[in-house]
Chain A
Amino acid sequence: MGVFILRKLGAALIVVFLASVLVFAGVRAIPGDPALAYAAEDRDPEVLAAIREKYGLDDPLPVQYVNWVGLALQGDLGTDTRGLPVAETIVTRIPLTLELAGLAILIGTVIGIGAGVIAAVRRGKASDYAATTVALLGLSVPHFWLGLLMIMVFAVNLGWLPASGYVPFREDPVENLKHMLMPAIVLGTGLSAVLMRQMRSAMLESLGADYVRTARAKGLSEWSVVGKHALRNSLITVTTVIGLQLGALISGAVVTEQIFGIAGFGRLTVDAVAQRDYALLQGVVLVVAVGYVVVNLLVDVAYSLINPRIRVGGGAA
Chain B
Amino acid sequence: MNRIRTRPARSGLVALAVVAVGLLATGAGSSVAAENRTGGTLTIGLAEDPDALDPTLARTFVGRMVFLHMCEKLYDLNARLQIVPQLAAGMPTLSGDKRRMTIRIRRGIRFNDGTLLNARAVKISLDRHRTLAGSARASEISPVTSVDVVGNYTVRLNLNARYSPLTAQLADRAGMIMSPKQLDALGTRFASNPVCVGPFKFTSRTAGDRIVLDKSQFYYARSKVKLNRIVFRIITDTSARAANLRAHDINVLDRIASTDLPAIQRDRSLRVLKATSIGYQGISINIGNKNGIGKPFVNVGTPLASRRALRQAFELSLDRRVINRVVFGGTVLPGCLPVPPASPYYDARIKCPGRNLSRARSLIRSTGMSTPVHVRLMIGTDQVAARLGQVIQSMAREAGFQVDLQPTEFVTALRRQDQGNYDAFAIGWSGRVDPDGNIYQFVHSKGSLNNLGWGSGRMDLLLDNARKAATLKARKTLYSAAFRVLRSELPLIYLYHPVNRHGVTANVKGVRLYGDGLIRAYFAEYK
| Touch between chains A and B, by CB atoms below 8 Å | yes
Please give the distance in Å from A272's CB to the nearest CB on chain B: 10
**Smallest distance from the beta carbon of A309 to chain B beta carbons, Å?**
12
At the interface with chain B, which of A18-26, A60-68, A225-233, A241-249?
A241-249
- With a CB–CB cut-off of 8 A, which chain B residues contact A170? 27, 30-32
B278 → chain A closest CB, angstroms:
13
Number of interface residues of A (CB under 8 A): 81
Contacts of B235 in A (CB 8 A): 164-165, 261
Cβ–Cβ contact B240 & A83, under 8 A: no
Number of A-B contacts (CB under 8 A): 229
Per the bound structure, the CA–CA distance linking A98 and B24 in Å amounts to 9
Q: Does B189 contact A (CB under 8 A)?
A: yes
Across the interface, do A171 and B209 meet the contact criterion of CB distance under 8 Å? no
A267 within 8 A of B: yes
The CA-CA distance from A238 to B18 in the complex, in Å, is 15
B14 touches A169 (CB 8 A): no
Docked Cα-Cα span, A62 to B68, in Å, equals 42
Interface residue? A256 (CB, 8 A):
no
Task: Enumerate A64-95 residues with CB–CB distance to B below 8 Å.
Answer: 79-85, 88-89, 91-95
Judge whether A298 and B17 touch: CB under 8 Å.
Answer: yes
Instruction: Tell me if A89 and B207 are in contact (CB < 8 A).
Output: yes
Number of residues on chain B facing chain A (CB within 8 A): 79
Contacts A236-B9, A296-B14 given: A169-B19 contact, CB under 8 Å? no
The stretch of A33-41, A116-124, A129-137, A210-218 that contacts the partner chain: A33-41
Distance between Cα atoms of A246 and B14 in the complex (Å): 9
- Residues 281 to 297 of chain A near chain B (Cβ within 8 Å): 291-292, 295-296
Q: Does A168 contact B (CB under 8 A)?
A: yes
Bound Cα distance from A293 to B19, whole angstroms: 15
Check B8–A99 contact: CB distance below 8 A.
no
Contact B25 A79 (CB under 8 A): no
Question: Is A205 close to B, CB under 8 A?
Answer: no
| Closest A residue, CB atoms, query B17 | A295
The reply on B136 being an interface residue by CB < 8 A is: yes
User: B209 near A242 (CB under 8 angstroms)?
Assistant: no
**In whole Å, how far is B527's beta carbon from the nearest beta carbon of chain A?**
25
> Can you name the residue of chain A whose Cβ is closest to the Cβ of B57?
A83
Contact with A along B236-264 (1 / 0, CB 8 A): 11011001100101000000000000000
Chain B residue contacts of A82, Cβ below 8 A = 49-53, 191, 205, 207
Contact of A83 among B15, B189, B430 (CB under 8 A): B189
**Interface residue B220 (Cβ < 8 Å from any Cβ of A):** no
Chain B residues with CB under 8 Å of A91's CB are 29
Closest A residue to B14 using CB positions: A295
Interface residues of B in 1-36 (CB under 8 A from A): 2-3, 5-19, 21-23, 25-32, 34-35
Tell me, in angstroms, the Cα distance from A303 to B14 when the chains sit together: 12
Q: Contact between A32 and B54 (Cβ–Cβ < 8 Å)?
A: no
Decide: A101 near B19, CB < 8 A? Known: A50-B135, A169-B26: yes
Cβ of A58: which chain B residues have Cβ within 8 Å of it? none
**Which of A80, A84, A85: most chain B Cβ within 10 A?**
A84
- Whether A196 is near chain B, meaning CB under 8 Å from some CB there, is no
A32 interface neighbour in B135, B139, B189, B415, Cβ under 8 Å: B415
Q: Which residues of B contact A98 (CB under 8 A)?
A: 18-19, 21-23, 25-26
The answer to the question of B353 belonging to the interface, with a C-beta cut-off of 8 Å to chain A, is no
Chain A contact residues, CB within 8 Å of chain B: 31-33, 36-47, 50-51, 53-55, 79-85, 88-89, 91-99, 101-102, 105, 155, 162-165, 168-172, 236, 238-244, 246, 249, 258, 260-261, 263, 267-268, 271, 274-276, 291-292, 295-296, 298-299, 303, 310, 312, 317
Instruction: Name the 4 nearest CB pairs between A and B, nearest first.
Output: A98-B22, A239-B12, A83-B191, A44-B448
Given A80-B207, A164-B239: 17 more A-B contacts, CB < 8 Å: A33-B415, A41-B430, A42-B136, A44-B139, A46-B139, A47-B134, A83-B191, A88-B207, A93-B207, A99-B22, A170-B32, A238-B12, A239-B13, A243-B7, A243-B14, A243-B15, A244-B11
